[in-house]
Amino acid sequence: MRAVVMYAPGDVRVDETERPTIVEPTDAILRLAATCICGSDLWPYRGADHVDHTPMGHEYVGVVEEVGPAVRDVKVGDFVVGSFFASDNTCEICRAGYQSRCVHAVPMGSIGTQAELVRVPLADGTLVATPGIPDADLVPSLLAASDVLGTGWFAAVAAEAGPGKTVAVVGDGAVGLLGVLAAKQLGADRVIAMSRHADRQALARHFGATDIVEERGDAGVERVKELTGGLGAHSTIEAVGTQESMMQAIRSTRAGGHVGYVGVAHDVSLPGEELFFSGVHLHGGPAPVRRFLPELIRLIWDRTIDPGKVFDLTLPIEKAAEGYQAMDERRATKVLLTF
């Protein structure tokens, strides 16, 4: 089968690899309907994370082709969505809603889902079936639920977005844009998207942004304060993972407010004294997408939300390298790969 492998930073190839097989009795094998490239795949691509002949990808939707003997709920032929962490969904951490930190969690990135077929561990705990085989136009949105939508949604929940709240969103990648969508769906009064790209601003408005701030850093913080009576946002979504974006998020938030941070942190260190006097709540980490999947699938199935709009380039898997390049050069927000 065909699978995307990153040989070294900047060197993405599509190899013919071994078809996966059931390893554990709780495994399922999926034939993917589509997969995609994540903003976080750019960290190794740019040499910021170690990479050496690594299978790529952690987002996936598709049809169950085979299940292990201990799988009870997931059936062959089901169309399913899963998260980027496999989880048992039964341990204390999972039951508390933090499936990405399951005591048995398996990162799907360690398996690689930019491939025709994928082995999913802990199938019953990880996979959620859709009501039927989706129309083709719903596939991108269901794929978005696997990571970027689930992550943006968690960020909005962690930031306590809701009625009466003004939500600021730092980061205009796919996760930030879907954080806008989530904040709107959760009932926020105002959603301030921070972006300097016209196409991303337009999509942010489509998803529910009421205000756009083009400034970054301290100037961006000042603009958010001007828009919020000098106080800052009630809720801020951080969807980048750098020192600058994290501090921008904390400083854009009013005392007593909440920051939901989901950008994978790279060399972020927080100044203790500033944090102490900020009076801001911080909550984030790898999103427990599994917690939100049933609701997200329902909203997509009912066509209430259309998160698949974040995909602005679709390529056959053979052209994966072109997709990485387009995202690296910011010519594409998010790339969908087809088979």
Convert 51-79 to b/e letters by CB count within 10 Å (16 or more is b). Answer: beebbbbbbbbbebebbbeebeebeeebb
Q: How far is CA 180 from CA 78, 134, 254, 310, in A?
A: 31, 25, 19, 12
Among 1, 22, 63, 91, the residue binding Zn ion under the rule CB under 5 A is 91
Give the distance, in angstroms, between the CA of residue 197 and the centroid of all CA atoms in the same chain. 20
**Within 124-153, which residues bind Zn ion (CB under 5 A)?**
none
> Rounded to whole angstroms, how far apart are CA atoms 266 and 250?
16
The span from the CA of 252 to the CA of 1, in Å, is 47
- Minimum CB–partner distance for residue 97 and Zn ion (Å): 11
To Zn ion, the closest distance from the beta carbon of 277 in angstroms equals 37
289 part of the interface to Zn ion, by CB under 5 A? no
- Of 64 and 86, CB closest to Zn ion: 86
Nearer to Zn ion, 80 or 122 (CB): 122
Structure tokens at 82: 């899963």
Q: Which is nearer to Zn ion, 102 or 299 (CB)?
A: 102
Of 25, 121, 126, nearest to 70 (Cα)?
Answer: 25
- Cβ–Cβ contacts within 10 Å for residue 110, how many? 11
Q: Rule CB under 5 A: is residue 102 a binding residue for Zn ion?
A: yes
Nearest-angstrom CA–CA distance, 303 and 141 = 10
In whole angstroms, the minimum distance from the beta carbon of 85 to Zn ion comes to 10
Question: Which position among 94, 168, 293, 317 is part of the footprint of Zn ion (CB under 5 A)?
Answer: 94
Among the listed residues 242, 147, 265, 210, the one whose alpha carbon sits nearest the alpha carbon of residue 194: 210
Query: By CB under 5 A, is residue 160 in contact with Zn ion?
Result: no
- Binding segment (CB under 5 A) for Zn ion, from list 18-26, 65-73, 93-101, 144-152: 93-101
Asked if 98 touches Zn ion (CB under 5 A), the answer is no
By beta-carbon proximity to Zn ion, the closer residue of 68 and 140 is 68
Residue type, 85: F
Stretch that binds Zn ion, among 9-17, 99-107, 206-214, 322-330 (CB under 5 A): 99-107
For 80, counting Cβ atoms within 10 Å of its Cβ (0-12 exposed, 13-18 middle, 19+ buried), the class is buried
Closest CB to Zn ion among residues 59, 88? 88
Give the nearer residue to Zn ion in terms of CB position, either 63 or 91.
Answer: 91
Q: Closer to Zn ion by CB, 87 or 333: give it.
A: 87
Q: How far is the CB of 100 from Zn ion (least distance, A)?
A: 10
Applying CB under 5 A, the span of 33-41, 88-96, 169-177, 227-235 interacting with Zn ion comes to: 88-96
The answer to whether 176 and 239 are in contact (CB under 8 A) is yes
Of the candidate spans 94-102, 259-267, 304-312, 318-326, the one that interacts with Zn ion by CB under 5 A turns out to be: 94-102
Q: Is 88 in the site for Zn ion (CB under 5 A)?
A: yes
Tell me the closest approach of the beta carbon of residue 291 to Zn ion, in angstroms.
Answer: 11
Could you tell me where the DSSP H helices lie in 235-288?
Answer: 243-251, 272-278
Counting residues that bind Zn ion (by CB under 5 A) gives 5
Minimum CB distance to Zn ion, residue 299 (Å): 25
Q: Is 330 left (phi over 0), alpha (psi -120 to 50) or beta?
A: left
The least distance separating Zn ion from the CB of residue 240, rounded to whole angstroms, comes to 28
DSSP 324: H
Can you tell me the distance from the alpha carbon of 22 to that of 141, in angstroms, rounded to the nearest whole number? 28
Site for Zn ion in 231-260 (CB under 5 A): none
Shortest approach of Zn ion to residue 121 CB, angstroms?
12
Residues engaged in binding Zn ion (CB under 5 A) = 87-88, 91, 94, 102
